[in-house]
A and B are shown apart, each in its own frame.
Chain A
């Protein structure tokens, strides 16, 4: 941090702190309440994901991807299997693609619900957090019904999914959506349009579009800055090109374009878009066998692939190098939360300690994915 002058103080936020969203340490240079510099220290949750992957077979990598972004495991699986199928040139049955999209969008809703609820908690509102977790619980119940797991699913396999959809899943899911859509209004009344909440988040921690692009910020954080970039729309994978949905971007609803409120609000709008995709997908899931194109032995040809998908946190990319053996030569994961965290220092300079917590919460980082 360099020289600490007499009226300055270094404050360590974390690794044990209620609102660092995991084990993150922020070394903050403060002058009273004003923050002049932040240095994030990461790696407390490092589990050697990439090195592990070089010592296990391709299908054994999938459970590790679960544990990277543990709030959106389905989307982590999704990215890996899409990259693998492209590398091996496997065409999966359409039913598999539809199931994957349904699961991915459900998990996106679950992840955004947690992000928004925890954000309320960071600002000091306790109740919305429990309301959102109550509804997230029903999504987890559906995952449990489908694949037996509630957090780490290992559901998507190369060439298929582990279990077919259970009986009446479509109906259960539609029932949930019918229940859930009016709930968004309740969240908005309780938290989104609360005067104090707007005061705390609007105009705070503005990320201009050029700064966001230069730091490689992606996902809702980038869209909140007004850049209309969504991998599902711009580089469609799976069957996303068959669905009609909008890409919500920040508008500076209560303040400046790209402030904390915009990042919050974009996530709220994305939940609505996910519901739209789900309604379209659930109505038209084709029949078929979900296991038919799973290869007996995964031995991709020599070569490499980089494929990115849209996880709830942004561009989740997998770079896979194959040397023709059943064990990957190299697996590299491009973590969207990592790039989001990297812009924290520039964005939060000059703001107060309370605002740093608000900015960090609005970036929606998952330390499991940053440290890998």
Chain B
């Protein structure tokens, strides 16, 4: 369901281009917001449970609805959300109040815009840009402005440290992420996400699905460089130095509470969904079934896509509860001296591969 189809459908009722455009955007925006909220709620619950099982705990538990947190703690995130909504909205006395209040919205916009181009299935995509990959990478950087804003406006040294670290980290890791995603683009010859996924139809090497990750050794490496950069871009462990709790208390989020903090949280999980979605679309066949030609139509696309995205998000959680944290200079070392040379080499490699075999 793209915005274009909605606009075309409205056009059948008469010629109101502006009104139908606004209506189409709002109608497709509300479910997108719901997806974002639902994603955060499920992801927080899963994160709690996954971390609990990894740590030999049982995580949130309860006796039943109305008591504690529901069966198996299923209502835990709902309770969390209510708690965050009714919390006092504190704004520090010495902060730059306008910027302080603006920052969560800008971060939210970054995540929200990215979600608009995520291909949930062959038809379920809000906007099907002809430069979709480029668009997601581009709007992903908007959140840096919000982070630096939040860190600066808080007028807190921890926030400032967190914001500066975060800005340096996200800007640096955009480069290997972008260079890695060039590999699928070179192979498919398109920036359109749907065409990129269509390209991955069929089989390769006889039995494997024709996903770009299985296509050649360079794209195999490119998937991992992209995934590592994606983890760094979403500020997850082992790259969570901007909000390193044992060093910077809570980094750029230190002064935020209540709903404004919840918006950060929502955006973080939405960002995880977006970067995992891009990784799935670019390397893991998007909504294509893992068994070529089987269950490959209609709503199965949504199932496969969300399944693959959930797997990647689970791996991110797995990393988070296993690895310690890198130091700032080590983080930059990994980016500039390890990932970028590998991705550069990959681009040459895949070009030569295409010349010989393609």
Listed in ascending order, the chain A residues whose CB lies under 8 Å from chain B are 9, 11-12, 17-19, 33, 120-127, 130-131, 134, 190-191, 194, 196-197, 199-200, 352-355, 357
| Contact yes or no, B246 A124, CB < 8 A | yes
B317-344 toward A: CB 8 Å interface, digit per residue (1/0)? 0000111111111100000000000000
In the complex, given contacts A127-B55, A130-B56, A357-B247, what are 17 additional A-B residue pairs having Cβ atoms less than 8 angstroms apart?
Answer: A17-B249, A124-B325, A125-B323, A127-B321, A131-B56, A194-B324, A196-B238, A196-B324, A196-B325, A200-B324, A200-B325, A200-B326, A352-B328, A353-B161, A354-B244, A354-B247, A357-B246
Q: Which residues of B contact A353 (CB under 8 A)?
A: 161, 247
- Which residues of B have CB within 8 Å of A190? 322
Binary flags per residue of B236-271, CB closer than 8 Å to A gives 1, else 0: 011011001111010000000000000000000000
Query: Known: A9-B157, A11-B157, A124-B240. Is A19-B246 also a contact (CB below 8 A)?
Result: yes
Q: Which residues of B contact A126 (CB under 8 A)?
A: 51, 55, 321
* CB pair B247 A131 closer than 8 Å: no
Complex partner residue of A123 from B51, B249, B324, CB under 8 angstroms: B324
B246 near A127 (CB under 8 angstroms)? no
Within the complex, the shortest CB–CB distance from B332 to chain A, in Å, comes to 11
A301 CB to closest chain B CB (Å) equals 50
CA of A219 to CA of B128, assembled, Å: 65
Q: How many Å lie between the Cα of A176 and that of B237 in the bound state?
A: 34
List the B residue with the shortest CB-CB distance to A198.
Answer: B324
Chain B: which residue is nearest A357 at the CB level?
B247
A173→B57 CA distance, assembly (Å) = 24
Cβ-neighbour of A194 out of B157, B245, B323 (below 8 A): B323
Interchain residue pairs with CB less than 8 A apart (23): A9-B157, A121-B246, A123-B246, A123-B324, A124-B246, A124-B323, A124-B325, A125-B323, A125-B325, A127-B321, A130-B55, A134-B56, A191-B324, A194-B323, A196-B323, A196-B324, A199-B327, A200-B325, A200-B326, A352-B327, A352-B328, A354-B247, A355-B327
Give the distance in Å from the alpha carbon of A33 to the alpha carbon of B244 in the complex. 14
Bound Cα distance from A12 to B248, whole angstroms: 11
**Which 3 interchain pairs have the tightest Cβ spacing?**
A124-B325, A125-B324, A130-B55
Return the contact of A124 from the options B56, B57, B244, B328 (Cβ within 8 A).
B244
Known: A11-B157, A124-B240, A130-B55. A196 touches B249 (CB 8 A): no
Distance of A197 Cα from B323 Cα, bound (Å) = 8
CB-CB under 8 A for A200 and B57, given A124-B244, A353-B247? no
| A134 to B58 Cα, complex, angstroms | 13
Expressed in whole angstroms, the minimum distance between the Cβ of B328 and any Cβ of chain A is 6
Which residues of chain B are within 8 angstroms of A357 by Cβ–Cβ distance? 246-247
* B291 interface residue per 8 A CB criterion: no
CA distance A18 to B247 in the complex (A): 8
Give complex CA distance A197, B237 in Å: 13
Q: Which residues of chain A come closer than 8 Å to B325, judged between CB atoms? A: 123-125, 196, 200, 354
CB distance from A220 to the nearest CB of B (A): 20
